[in-house]
Chain A
């Protein structure tokens, strides 16, 4: 029973991380309906920026973390400006193939600079964050990831519901020409959504890096694991991303715990095929109704 509960707790914690990673992905999809295949690489870039800040520049954590996030935000702007802006109005398939290209480009750069080695952050989280209850043990970093996940979930919920920028983003996603004709600054919306998405991606990369250490290959494979998560939760639902993340995280840890460890990495994709067959718009996704 304790094993079961420990698996449950692990699953939920890992699931929160997946949810966190998926949030940035949903951000981009919500505002531009682009599937971003470079998401894992953005996460890894964020983690490496943080690594440079605390390792090479020797900044204290409370300074390095916000600076790394600012760096990611700027990176998102730059990526959008150089690579995505020229493709506004082009067929979506080109944009998606561009993100596939960006993914290998970033990966190449990171492998070139840092190699395929595993880097770890110095341990800086206070041990007091850990939760110990009977035989169940939640390490501090998971507590932090859950806290960050919930904070951002609320922030994004409010952002899309009440702020004018959030409403612009939703309108652009819904119908780009109509939004343009109503005076929404589509280019600004795209730039902002990529910047925010890069920020969220970088943050989840940092959190994942604290847990597992950072390695280009691992983080980019987690970037692809975002797909089962968002398909399950619904491609355009941020709350769905978190819940989808938790379900996929649980599925993974239980498969790893009870069935086999090698099946662990592939089970999310099996679930993905199943979801596409049974409930293609996911749990909370908006069902598209086409009128011709």
Chain B
């Protein structure tokens, strides 16, 4: 048996491979395996339908948030159209399964690819310019896609929305929250592994180089434009997968949820979770989904109080305000997000009692 790796008290890496390892220690690997075992073998059987619904939403939003983090956190390009791209994925899956009769296992990746193509199309205008022009192009993308989803009625049924048929994978019907739980989390694990490994290849390192200094990156021989488009394509692919899963989970989809507010919600997620961290995107998704449910619970309680219900507190302003405040506070106080908070807590334990 090889020697077990534990946390060293400093950075003693001697080779690049050591820098690139996903798990620094065997302890981390073991705890992840235990965590996955609990997730798959215990959680679906002890939680009720409402809790399972929250878990599934966390898994789906995590996939999309990882995608946005690849673009914003790793490549340094802010996108305001992520919500619309998730919509493209959802509609692509819905149309493929209702009109072309694609099975689930084909429709989801196909939806991802279609969304990636649409994303690249909207990334093209930013090609001539450096800086934050991609943000503006994605803002335009958000509005144009929303318009097309509503008004291209022969394809998307307009405001009526599409109802997906019941589906199954390898003979197992995806009709309950529990069966969907497995699909959502297996997809999340696959997409997370993919993202972590993309960031270790030359592509991921090129993205980081572009984020840190685009001129230097160009000087090192990285063609900026193709790499930016690639990053945008990958990010949209993730959005498409998440959208497709969402469509199958929600069964009926309309254009309504895929608005600018959703895009801002995803930006909030990656800022709160931590820019440039795959795990951070998942933390952010958990935080925002939890915040959403928490606010719903809070408004229910507030509505129960007589004096307040007469004022008529509604969910929308509270949500807007909470997301905005969360973004602002995290940027001002902890710009690297929950991932950094977690790292600080961990290293405090590790270095105790000499934590300096």
B125: nearest chain-A partner, CB-CB:
A276
CB-defined contacts of A91 to chain B, threshold 8 Å: 76
Q: Determine whether the beta carbon of A97 is less than 8 Å from that of B132.
A: no
B328 touches which of A105, A290, A292 (Cβ 8 Å) = A105
CB-defined contacts of B180 to chain A, threshold 8 Å: none
Tell me the smallest distance from the CB of A189 to a CB of chain B, in Å.
Answer: 21
Q: Is A130 an interface residue (CB 8 A)?
A: no
Contact string, A84-99, partner B, CB cutoff 8 A, digits 1/0?
0011001111101110
What CA separation (Å) do A103 and B260 show in the bound complex?
12
Q: Is A28 an interface residue (CB 8 A)?
A: no
Q: Which 6 A-B pairs have the closest CB atoms?
A: A108-B321, A101-B327, A105-B324, A104-B324, A111-B317, A276-B125
On chain A, which size bracket covers the interface?
35 or more
A108 touches which of B135, B146, B271, B324 (Cβ 8 Å) = B324
CB-defined contacts of B332 to chain A, threshold 8 Å: 83, 86-87, 98
What CA separation (Å) do A109 and B318 show in the bound complex?
8
Q: Given A83-B332, A273-B125, A276-B126: A101 and B324 within 8 A (CB)? A: yes
Tell me the smallest distance from the CB of A251 to a CB of chain B, in Å.
Answer: 14
What CA separation (Å) do A181 and B126 show in the bound complex?
33
B residues with a Cβ closer than 8 A to A are 72, 76, 78, 80, 122, 124-126, 128-130, 132-133, 135-137, 139-141, 143-144, 146-147, 151, 215, 219, 260-261, 264, 267-268, 271, 316-328, 331-332, 335
Q: Determine whether the beta carbon of A273 is less than 8 Å from that of B327.
A: no
CB-defined contacts of B261 to chain A, threshold 8 Å: 104
Tell me the smallest distance from the CB of B212 to a CB of chain A, in Å.
Answer: 10
Q: Is A205 an interface residue (CB 8 A)?
A: no
CB-defined contacts of B268 to chain A, threshold 8 Å: 101
Residue among A94, A97, A224 with the most chain B CB within 10 A? A97
CB-defined contacts of B317 to chain A, threshold 8 Å: 107-112
Q: Given A108-B320, A112-B318: A224 and B139 within 8 A (CB)? A: yes
Q: Is A106 an interface residue (CB 8 A)?
A: yes
A residues with a Cβ closer than 8 A to B are 35, 37, 83, 86-87, 90-94, 96-98, 100-112, 116, 224, 227-228, 231, 262-263, 265-266, 269-270, 272-273, 276-277, 280-281, 290, 292
Q: Determine whether the beta carbon of A107 is less than 8 Å from that of B324.
A: yes
- Beyond the given A273-B122, A276-B136, A277-B128, please list 20 additional residue pairs across the A-B interface where CB-CB is below 8 A: A93-B72, A94-B331, A96-B132, A97-B331, A98-B327, A101-B325, A102-B328, A105-B321, A108-B319, A109-B317, A110-B317, A111-B320, A227-B139, A262-B151, A272-B140, A276-B125, A276-B140, A277-B125, A280-B129, A290-B215
Tell me the smallest distance from the CB of B210 to a CB of chain A, in Å.
Answer: 12
What CA separation (Å) do A109 and B76 show in the bound complex?
30
CB-defined contacts of B122 to chain A, threshold 8 Å: 273
Q: Determine whether the beta carbon of A276 is less than 8 Å from that of B143.
A: no
Tell me the smallest distance from the CB of A157 to a CB of chain B, in Å.
Answer: 25
What CA separation (Å) do A290 and B92 show in the bound complex?
41
Tell me the smallest distance from the CB of B221 to a CB of chain A, in Å.
Answer: 14
B316: nearest chain-A partner, CB-CB:
A111
B140 touches which of A94, A108, A109, A228 (Cβ 8 Å) = A228
CB-defined contacts of B318 to chain A, threshold 8 Å: 108, 112
CB-defined contacts of A112 to chain B, threshold 8 Å: 317-318, 321
Could you list 14 examples of A-B contacts with CB < 8 Å?
A37-B80, A93-B78, A97-B78, A101-B327, A108-B324, A110-B317, A112-B318, A263-B147, A265-B147, A266-B146, A269-B143, A273-B140, A276-B137, A292-B215
